Structure 1
């Protein structure tokens, strides 16, 4: 049965439907140009090809179907897309030809695109880049997360510098995802044991290149009114909802795999949120006849865990009684204490401890972070020298094609050759960077800087118009040093550290010979009053005469802005 989009597309443009439902376009500038040709204003506003095609009049699509320039561009992109999706070989198939089991990756958030607003900060951006890179490398990779009806909030900052959270309700039918259906055409529902009942979750499939990302959501008629709201918000501040979200992600994620007959070779827990997955796996092995310790040993041998947070406050801890209550039905017939002991930290249940105790490999996200993590969790390895604690440092990377600026891509093509596009991980290729003339590199840098300044000024103008503020926009010199601080406004990220010596800072930013600007972009969690106060303090300082136009807050900074 044809979708709404397929039914309105002319025959010679039917491929647009498949392209719209695959986030491959997010790392193809040429594909983005195609969507821009369809409707420039719609694309600039939403960056969502499904919404774009749904809202484009049929007459416009028929017009494009007879436009030779558009058809040539369409054919070029579809050839590239089809070639990418059906390669003769990939890095993984060449290096691991006998591996035939999927790697299953679980994370609370994914930063794939502005049009899929299920991310908050660096954890999600890294997860999104992991998924895209797995696709490029040809890994047999499956990702699992949650679909949040309101996503993460849109940020507004009022006249006093206070953050206001706006929670849009996204229309699922306008998002680049599709429901997973049973053979009879009905939605697949996953039964997740929570408290004394089953909560039902529907599943959606998101295509990210060659990788499938599955998202669970409880907003179905089979659930109670309260259970339908479990996935309303990313990082729900209510203790009850937060524990249920993590049960849904971990236990629900494993049950989804079983429903799809997917048997993972490795489970990768990206941060501690999905660690309940391993309780489900232990329970299944015990049902097959293994003892608790045998089941735990097998689960450990097939689990890896990445920890991200360098401070205790960033790790999820729940009162152990609250976790026991939510796992009541799940633990029926099992020795509750053995399961609880895996995450026990006094009277708290620590999701990071659960992850470490059920994994064979633990890594931090940099060499320094690994050292910090060893000190933080050293009590788990009593008597082991600090430098021998098995927590490895693996430095975070990025998905090159998503984040590299378009003019730099052209320079690399010209001076390195296009091999860097397919093999960006081969170090030898990058020696050719030395061939790029300094003046050309600087020219590309300044062009990107001008584009950033233009976007920043546009953001400030929009806020001023919303609040009725009548003041000139900052006149930013493109040759100036612009310092960016793009992080969540959590207190441990220390956004105000730059502002600790205002007298010295005043001299730096107002030096007539070396102009300097500081741009802040980031959100505080809706329930984090201390984080909001940090944001308000930054705003307050930015309004002082000596810092006006020199310290600037980029309102509602997101993936679209970053790119």
Structure 2
């Protein structure tokens, strides 16, 4: 089954999580969804990738909302054999002084055209391993720092060894975030100079060769967000895999910083938006960090009603999404509005089925859905309840929310509690629905069915963000804080609206209310032609550019073929 994938050189794409499909819950949020869109575009463009990730048998978490509005997490296991094929190869990696064996599953991601991509999912749940080691690939981002380090050994070191055992010819390696940085240590060992060629005291490691093989995409805009491990823990778990002096030179003196390790051993480094690349250069001065702004997969994130519309008026848009730039002039207003109403009715139906809340199709729906954590600030809209009610009395609107908090993120869980408290408080004035167990399918229903996509991160913590890009493919404009991709995507009044101007010290809640009350809602209620013009602007200016086809063509031209 692997024969068709091992006959040409490939780019090895490593990601701790990846969103392959809704039924395979091995992703937690934007990082995994981006990885999935990367591979989907590679399939469509027939770029030779092979992806390496973890099987994460226990999934991420299945979210239940109890009667008090609190998140209850349940395991979300999946059966690899239902979707993937077991592979014969087994390799081992050193963990805590013993060899832990790793098997693999092959998932073949098939594009909607002719392309397909191999995805290798690493699995330690083997008879050869102890009960403890069998669980190392069970839970995505589970356990403590020791568990995390062991998972990153499996992903990075184990992934390189598995590709070799399976017969893949690897041209280069692409690290999607620093979780896989240990793969560079495996390459250092693999391409070490022969001892007999070394002068006394000379390092055996061929750093230029390894750097030339590695590309690194960083996603984290703050120092505290990067994976770090104490060297005591590293020596306990990984032993003398690489001598400590060399490791400290490459990964930091105080602890093993996975981002710094990746930076030092990658020739090509990029951030995921222009602002994020600027921040990364400031965080890590002396490194050349380029910017390739993220994108989303056109076919996956376009509602069927809009896909049919684009097929009619802009044939070929899936392969060349830049054709969407013609939406403003080539698609009639009535056709855009009809497609949107179909998507909106599907969302209204989903809300009714899941929450028993009946939304009014005549009223605008504000949507907010993403990983629930404090810096995303889902509560910003509810800062001043009286002001929000006053706006709704004059210009009524509805709100649909969704998102999971990490099981260990108490702050994120409290936000979910708070949102439900606001829902109860506003029950008589603003219809609010919280849809449980946010995943890929629900995400598409929401980004296509709402009228306005709301995004309120605390700058500069949004490295990129992609949910607003998905909304743009469906003609849904964003109302967002100027952070991440929206700095590039916002053309005021044409693709959506900015909350503030990005300056520090702004009272963003007040600015949000002002923009909502004075600009967004009046346009919706009083100028339908003007509203549809913004929808068209969103498609032609943003959907045509912020897609993963453009992103992958950039990677191919600037990273893979350098």
Match of 1:370 in 2: 277
Structure 2 match to 1:532: 413
The match for 1:407 among 305, 323, 327 is 305
**Where does residue 327 of structure 1 map in the other structure?**
238
Encode CA deviations 1:319-350: one digit per residue, 9 max, x unaligned: 2211221111xx35x4222124322252x321
How many pairs were matched up?
432
Bigger mean CA deviation after superposition, 232-241 or 495-504: 495-504
Q: Aligned match of 1:151 in 59, 63, 69? A: 59
CA distance in 1, matches of 2:429, 2:135: 43
Query: Does structure 1 retain, via aligned residues, the 8 Å contact 2:105–2:120?
Result: yes
| Structure having greater relative contact order (Cα 8 Å, sep ≥ 6) | 2
What is the CA distance between 1:545 and its match in structure 2? 3.8
Shift of 1:129: 0.5
Q: 1:319 to 1:457 in 2, by over 3 A?
A: farther
**3-state SS in 2 of match to 1:523:** coil
Gaps of 5+ in 1: 1-17, 22-84, 87-98, 182-187, 382-388, 461-472
Report the TM-score, using the length of structure 1 for normalisation.
0.73
Alignment of 1:354-503 (within 5 A): 354-378=261-285, 381=286, 390-416=288-314, 418-424=315-321, 427=322, 430-431=325-326, 433-460=328-355, 473-503=356-386
Using the alignment, how far apart are the partners of 2:180 and 2:359 within structure 1?
Answer: 44
Q: Equivalent residue for 2:49?
A: 141
Cα distance in 2 for residues equivalent to 1:342 and 1:507: 57
C-alpha change, 1:501 and 1:547, in structure 2 (3 Å) is farther
Which of 435, 458, 461 does residue 554 from structure 1 map onto?
Answer: 435
Equivalent position to 2:393, from 488, 508, 511: 511
Is contact 1:195–1:326 with CA below 8 Å preserved after alignment? yes
Could you tell me whether the CA contact under 8 Å between 2:51 and 2:119 is conserved in 1? yes
| 1:103 CA drift (Å) | 0.5
Moved over 4 A (4+): 287-294, 546-549
Q: Compute the displacement of 1:458 (Å).
A: 1.2
Q: How does 1:72-87 map to 2 (within 5 A)?
A: none
The separation in 1 between residues aligned to 2:393 and 2:265, in whole angstroms, is 55
- In the alignment, structure 2 segments of 5+ residues that lack a partner are 111-115, 445-562
Question: Using the alignment, how far apart are the partners of 1:263 and 1:172 within structure 2?
Answer: 25
Q: Confirm or deny: 8 A CA contact 2:25 2:76 kept in the other structure.
A: no
The one of 76, 93, 96 equivalent to 1:192 is: 93
Offset of residue 540 of structure 1: 1.4
Provide the rounded CA distance (Å) in 2 between the counterparts of 1:376 and 1:503: 41
Could you tell me how far 1:156 is from its partner in structure 2? 0.7
Which of residues 120, 130, 135 in structure 1 aligns to 2:28?
120
Alpha-carbon separation, structure 2, partners of 1:402 and 1:481: 25
TM-score (norm 2): 0.73
Distance change >3 Å, CA 548–CA 316, structure 1 → 2: farther
Q: CA deviation at 1:288?
A: 4.7
Q: 1:107 aligns with which of 8, 12, 15?
A: 15
Deviation, structure 1 residue 399: 1.0
Contact 1:275 1:354 in 2 (8 A): yes
Q: What CA distance in whole angstroms lies between the structure 2 residues aligned with 1:321 and 1:287?
A: 28
CA contact (8 A) 2:193 2:206 kept: no
- Say which SS state the counterpart of residue 318 (structure 1) adopts: strand
Match of 1:193, SS state, is strand
CA distance in 2, matches of 1:232, 1:249: 13
Alignment match, 2:517:
none
Cα distance per residue 1:337-369 (max 9 Å; x no partner): 2124322252x3211111111111211111122
1:170 to 75, 78, 84: 78
Deviation sequence 1:282-310 (CA, Å, 0-9, x none): 11111655864752221111211111122
